[in-house]
Structure 1
Amino acid sequence: MQAILLCGGMGTRLRSVVSDRPKPMADICGKPFLQYLLEMLREKGITEVIFALGYMGEMIEEYFQDGSAFGLKIAYSYEEDPLGTGGAIRNALPKIMEEEVLVLNADTYFPMDYQGLYRFHQENDGDFSLATRAVPDISRYGAVRRDVAGRILAWNEKLEDGGQPLAGEINGGIYVMKKSLIAEIPEGKQSLEQDCVPKWLSEGKRIFGLPFDGYFMDIGIPKDYQQFITDVEQGKHGK
């Protein structure tokens, strides 16, 4: 299974502590966050990766090169101007060699069952399937709702509970997508979360979610970046 890693974000919320490199290259105990992510994916049988690069992407290619030193086969897709998550996936289309592809946010560490999500996607003849994750506070993310079969009913819902933390199920930032669906994304700047998925839901595309638990960390803000460093130091990030 091929995987696209979305590495093109500017990382503005993390800039106060990581200013000299793209966010996925943030230092974690002497090696970049992205290396932890790739090592975890390799252990789970994913060895072909497409990096969708933007801001300071050359630093990523210089470090990982063709991937052979890491037991991987790596290709690179560059955006000349910021394309958003949907646009970056569309831009990588010429490098996708299979009918379904795994897509991941490169700032999130979520060692779930990738093969299980892929099987779920195929069993449901999904166009787009995502890993969901229950969290104690959805305020940073927006919630998703599923029916009993896993079909997505609501996406990026903004729920409030009088200013108190509200538990719910969120998009885990890991997807399986049909190549034919990716081809439908218009060229240019597109947000997967704000533009593409809402449109596909309105069109009746087969969009499913499968819940996973276990370790989950998005390093997009300084507090969680520091927490991931602590978790790596204590050996907690694989649990």
Structure 2
Amino acid sequence: MKAMILAAGKGERLRPLTLHTPKPLVRAAGVPLIEYHLRALTRAGFTDVVINHAWLGQQIEDYLGDGERFGLRIQYSPEGEPLETGGGIFKALPLLGVEPFVVVNGDIFTDYDFANLRRPLHGRAHLVLVDNPPHHPSGDFLLHDGQVADAVAGHASLTYSGIAVLNPALFAGCQAGAFKLAPLLRSAMAEGTVSGERFAGRWVDVGTHERLAEVERLLQDET
């Protein structure tokens, strides 16, 4: 099973840190955020990783190289223009192959064990969901008996963690260019082909300076 790390965002809310450094290389406790993912994927038994990039992407390639020092084989999917999540994954499909693959947002911090995802996928997607953080109280989706559905007002929802397993068939009929992933997921949910799980461990969407500081605190607590 291959894995893809989404690393094409500009990280505008983390300026000035991201003016001259791509968001995945912003450091927490002295280590670039993307490196925590690579270490975790290696521990989980993954060997092949695809990374897309756009803003200052050459810095990512220069720093990570071919992945050998992480015990990985890294391939890159550069984007000349922003393709959104769906378009970025679609562009990388030739590198990912025909089997289901793991996708991870490059701008989250988590202790989720990616080995949990190394199992057969029944359907078109499997999403890892977390309790709604303060900055996203309304959540995204419902989880019931292992199946994921679109959120409904008045029902307890969860937030998409940015971790999933996707079947390339999810992108059938898509065209090259910029498009979002969420509509594809919601279409598959309507057909009952999206499973999910709730993760209660450490998870931070590192989108602001305050949340980057939260990651620093979590890492300090480890030492």
User: Which TM-score applies when normalising by structure 2?
Assistant: 0.89
Give the distance between the partners of 1:43 and 1:112, measured in 2 at CA.
Answer: 11
Quick check: 105-114 or 44-53, which moved more?
105-114
Alignment of 1:139-154 (within 5 A): 139=136, 142-148=139-145, 150-154=146-150
Distance in 1 (alpha carbons) for counterparts of 2:85 and 2:212: 21
Structure 1 residue identity aligned to 2:207? G
* Residues 22-63 of structure 1 deviation map (CA, whole Å, 9 limit, x = unaligned): 111102232311112211221121221100111111110000
Distance 1:146 1:110 in 2: 20
Q: Given that residues 132 and 169 in structure 1 are in contact (C-alpha distance below 8 angstroms), is that contact kept between their aligned partners in structure 2?
A: yes
What letter matches 2:37 in structure 1?
A: L
Tell me the CA shift for residue 5 of structure 1: 0.5
**Contact 2:143–2:158 at 8 Å: present in 1 too?**
no
Check whether the contact 1:87–1:188 (CA below 8 A) recurs between aligned residues: yes
Contact kept, 8 Å, 2:124 with 2:193, in 1: the verdict is: yes
Task: Please say if residues 12 and 18 of structure 2, whose CA atoms lie closer than 8 Å, have aligned partners that are also in contact.
Answer: no
How high is the sequence identity, in percent, across the aligned residues? 30
Contact 2:110–2:203 under 8 Å retained in 1:
yes
Provide the secondary structure at the position in 2 that maps to 1:208: strand
Matches of 1:118 and 1:126, distance apart in 2: 15
- 1:219 positional shift: 1.0
In structure 1, C-alpha distance between the alignment counterparts of 2:71 and 2:114, rounded to whole Å: 18
CA distance in 1, matches of 2:26, 2:82: 20
One-letter amino acid of the counterpart of residue 44, structure 2: K
Partner of 1:114: 114
Q: Helix, strand or coil for the counterpart of 1:75? A: strand
Contact 2:149/2:186 (<8 A) preserved: no
Cα root mean square deviation, aligned? 2.3
Letter in 2 for 1:47: T
Q: Which residue of 2 aligns with 1:88?
A: 88
Partner AA of 1:39 in structure 2: R
Equivalent pairs, count: 223
SS at match of 2:94: helix
Report 1:124-203 matches (<5 A). 125-135=122-132, 137=134, 139=136, 142-148=139-145, 150-155=146-151, 168-193=157-182, 195-202=183-190
What is aligned with 2:209?
Answer: 222
Deviation at 1:158, TM superposition (A): 7.5
Q: 1:60 to 1:192 in 2, by over 3 A?
A: same
Tell me how far 1:205 sits from its aligned partner: 5.4
Matches within 5 A, 1:71-82: 71-82=71-82
CA contact (8 A) 1:90 1:182 kept: yes
The reply to whether residue 31 of structure 1 matches residue 20 of structure 2 is no
